[in-house]
Amino acid sequence: MREIVFDTETTGLDPAKGDRVVEVGCIELLNGIPTGKTFHHYIDPERDMPDEAFRVHGISSAMLVGKPVFAEIAQAFVDFTEGAKLVAHNAEFDFKFMNAELARLNYPILSSERMVDTLALARRRHPGAPASLDALCQRYGIDNSRRTKHGALLDAEILAEVYAELTGGKQTALVFGGASSRGWGGASGPRRERPDPLAPLASAEEIARHAAFVAEMGTKAIWYQYLAPLVESTEGKQAV
């Protein structure tokens, strides 16, 4: 499943009163794992930067001189996010601003059916607890020391880590011989076996010592759960 974690910075709180987007940052996830693909732009809002907004994100009007207006990056944003769920913290805010920008250019707006709101997820998972991005970083032990001010791409990167925790952790399941629910171990395609298994790197002495160590654990040692499918696979190939 493809998802886009994104964040925006703006000139204020209400696009209906003339506030505009000044930065957008997006992180692509595939089966919950960042692919390394990002989308990031500072944007000329075609208006001034209020002091209240500058104190939040530190983006000044001078910093935006020469940056593209939204019309110049709109199609690239649509292309990057096409077909994906859109993950944001307090997502209604970001959707409201992006839809205002898209509607101004007669682009189709982002459907609420694509929205994944991590603020709502956090409140359901931790009722009554603080649910800001900083509070969730503290809860999950995520380093947000770089976040001295708001920044769209940085916040999207941090939110991607928080989202992984909110949806079950970075590795939601460890199943021997299978794939996990977040795309680990071959969820992106069928697993192929080597026609000729690689020779073991352990020496005969190391193999014997390991066997003795496992034997001390008894017949319920978890190693046997891993070993059994390998033995069955080997025996099946020999029978053929």
Q: Which residues are catalytic?
A: 150
Please say whether the beta carbons of 41 and 47 come within 8 A. no
Q: Tell me the CB-side half-sphere exposure of residue 21, using CA atoms within 13 A.
A: 29
Which helix (DSSP H) or strand (DSSP E) does residue 117 occupy?
strand 115-117
In 3D space, the residue among 24, 26, 32 whose CA is nearest the CA of residue 2 turns out to be: 32
Please say whether the beta carbons of 75 and 85 come within 8 A. no
CA angle 84, 23, 164 (to 5 degrees): 45
Within a 10 A sphere around the Cβ of 74, how many other Cβ atoms? 18
